[in-house]
Structure formats: C-alpha cells, structure tokens
Structure 1
Amino acid sequence: MAEYTSEAVEVTPYFDVEMFMGVAQETRIGGQVMDRLVENWEKWCKELTVRRVKAGKIEYLVAWLSEAVENEVDAMWDTAPSDAHLFNSLAQAIVMATIQDVLPEVQDAGCAPAPKPTEALQDALEAEGIPYNLSVTALTRRYAVVTHHPFKGGCEICYLLPDCPKGNGDKSASTVVLPGYEPGSAD
C-alpha cells in the first residue's frame, strides 16, 4: 500500500436554497417541506466526512455522507418517491456545498473535476473507508466527491471528460440519476 496522509477539514456548509432548487429541478417548495429539508440538512451534516488526502505527490479533497444517509433516502423510494427525489437532491447539495465552501473556484467552473484514480489515491481512499468502484470509476458512497486540492481547473483536467455528457456539450444531459435508472440498468 502506498503512503498517504489524511487530515480532517472542518466545514459547516450552509443551505443554499437556490443551489438546492437547481439540483432538485424544482421551482417551488412549500413551507412544511422546506422545514423538513432544513431539519435533514442539519441532521445529515453530522454524517458528513471531509478529508484532505495527500497520495503520492498529489493532494485531494474528499467529502462524503455516511451510508446511513443513503439508507434513509433508499427507504423513502418505497414509501414516498417525490420525497425521495427531494431528499436525494438534498444529500447531493450537501456534498456540493461542502466542496464549494472549501474550493470556491468549483462554483465558477460548474464542476469539481474528478482526478485520475491512481493506485496511490485508490489505496488512500480504501484506507479511509471509501474505495473506488472501478467498474464505473466512481466512489462507493453515493453522496461523495473527490477532486484536486487546491483547485487545478475544470473540465479540461477531469478524468471523466471522455464520458461526461455535460463536458461534451450535451446540455440536455440529466444531472440527477435516480436509483434503478442508471445507464444500462434493466427495465
């Protein structure tokens, strides 16, 4: 296993309603729903892990929500799919707000570019408990991001660019993928 260092990053992301509305693709949210969203934001921020990881010569920022959040959202899909959609978007927004809080340049770039999953990075993240699933080049936590720290650029440095609809100009590409609707999943 390659040597790596890891340190906690203290972040308290704020609830950016405008960003959340964009992620959720909503134009209006009622008061009771907003109260539940804010309540879960506060609860789920306690399930947030943010680490600065140095693997080899490269530094990264990694943020993820615990499996408990994934399980909570998954349970909603069976009982209240519209709620599940909103709370899935809320979890995504927490991670996005966290990354933007530490690396404000990400907001201007419109994305936190994914680094190449080098062996050193894979080993470090495995040791941190958030390994890569290399069959889809993604982290094993659903609500997670790994990007370069400090910020190094946008789409032009992203490892996923060849397969990214957004990075390849497909403006109609959905940014929200619901469970069971992943590309290649059987209907």
Structure 2
Amino acid sequence: MSEYTSEVVEVRPYLDMELLMSVSQENRVDGNTMEMMTQFWESWAPRLHVRKLKVGKIQYLAVWLDESVEADVDGVWDTSPSSAFLAGSLAQVMVMCAVNQVLPEVQDAGCAPAPKPTDGLVEALEEEGCPYNADATALSRRFAVITHFPFKGACEICYLQKDCPKGAGMNKDASSIVLPGYERGQD
C-alpha cells in the first residue's frame, strides 16, 4: 500500500440553476420538478465527499457522491424517465459545483482534467471509498471527479485527452492556460 494523506474539505455547494439547465438540456423547470430537485439536493448534501489527497509528491482533489445517490436516481427511472434524467443531471451538477467551489479555475477552463491513475492513486481512492473500475480507466462511482490540486491546466494535461472530443481538438473552446512548471509531460 502506497503512503498517502487525506484531508476532508468542507464545502456546501450552492445549486447553480444555470449549470443544471445546461447539463439537463432543459429550458424550463416547473414548480413540482424544482421542489423534487431541492429535496434531492438537501438529501444528497450529507452524502457528498470532498477530499484533498496527497499521493507521493502529487496532490489531487477527489469529489464523489455515495452509491446510495446512484440508487436514488435509478429509483426515479421506475416512475419517470424524464425526472430521472434531471435527477442524474442534478447529481452531476452537485459534484461539479463542489469542484468549482474548491478549484474555481475549473469552471473558467470548462474542464477538470483527469490525472493518470497511478498505482498509488488507485490504492488511495480504493481506501477512501471511491475506487477505480477493474481496469483503472474510470472511477466506479457514477457521480465523481478526480483532478489535480491545485489547478494545473485543463484539456492539455488530461489523461483522457485522446478519448475526449473536447480534448482532441474537436471543440474550439477547449484551450486554457497552463501554469509554469505544469507543462505536458511533467508529473
């Protein structure tokens, strides 16, 4: 087991309605739906985990929602697929708002780049309760983000760049600044 440290980061993300509308591709939300989203938000807030991890010399920000949130979203599919899609979007937004609160540069860049899943990082996230999937290509929690801390740049440093339409240059808005010392190829 690799040595790592973990620090709980206290956040209370606010519900960013503009982001929710964008992620859910909705142009209006009625009162009943908004009430359901507010209830979910309040219910899920205690199940949000935000950690600063230091594995070797590299620091990361890990944000995820419990598996029980996934079960909540899955349960809505039985009654209303459109509400379930919106609930899933809400869970994504909660994670994104927490990341943006800790690393505001992510919101400006439009991306929280994924780090290379080193053995130490894989082991640390397993220990923390947000493991990678079996082949260490993605986190096993459906609503989760792992990124560098502090912010080092966006698409140009992302481990998933070759598989991402935005990072592979198919999106003209994909560029960001790279902080000195964090150029590609420097771990």
Give me the TM-score of the superposition, normalised by structure 2: 0.88
Q: How does 1:1-187 map to 2 (within 5 A)?
A: 1-135=1-135, 137-170=137-170
CA positional deviation for 1:35:
1.5
Match of 1:177 in 2: none
Alpha-carbon RMSD across the aligned residues, in angstroms, is 1.1
Partner SS state of residue 166, structure 2: coil
CA distance in 2, matches of 1:23, 1:170: 19
Task: In structure 2, give the amino acid aligned to 1:104.
Answer: P
Runs of 5+ in structure 1 lacking a partner? 172-187
Structure 1 residues 115, 134: CA separation in 2 closer, same or farther (over 3 Å shift)?
farther
Partner SS state of residue 137, structure 1: coil
CA distance in 2, matches of 1:2, 1:93: 32
Task: In structure 2, give the amino acid aligned to 1:74.
Answer: D
Following TM superposition, the consecutive aligned residue runs of length 4 or more in structure 1 with deviations greater than 3 angstroms are none
Q: Tell me if structure 1 keeps the 8 A contact 2:117–2:136.
A: no
Corresponding pairs, count: 171
Task: In structure 1, give the amino acid aligned to 2:126.
Answer: E
CA distance in 1, matches of 2:169, 2:79: 36
Structure 1 residues 77, 136: CA separation in 2 closer, same or farther (over 3 Å shift)?
farther
Partner SS state of residue 91, structure 2: helix
Q: Tell me if structure 1 keeps the 8 A contact 2:7–2:53.
A: yes
CA distance in 2, matches of 1:4, 1:135: 21
CA deviations over 1:11-41 (Å, ceiling 9, x no partner): 0000010011001011111111111111211
CA deviations over 1:114-146 (Å, ceiling 9, x no partner): 000011111111111111115361111000000
CA distance in 1, matches of 2:35, 2:78: 22
Partner SS state of residue 11, structure 2: coil
- Aligned-residue sequence identity (percent) comes to 60
Task: In structure 1, give the amino acid aligned to 2:160.
Answer: L
CA positional deviation for 1:169:
3.8
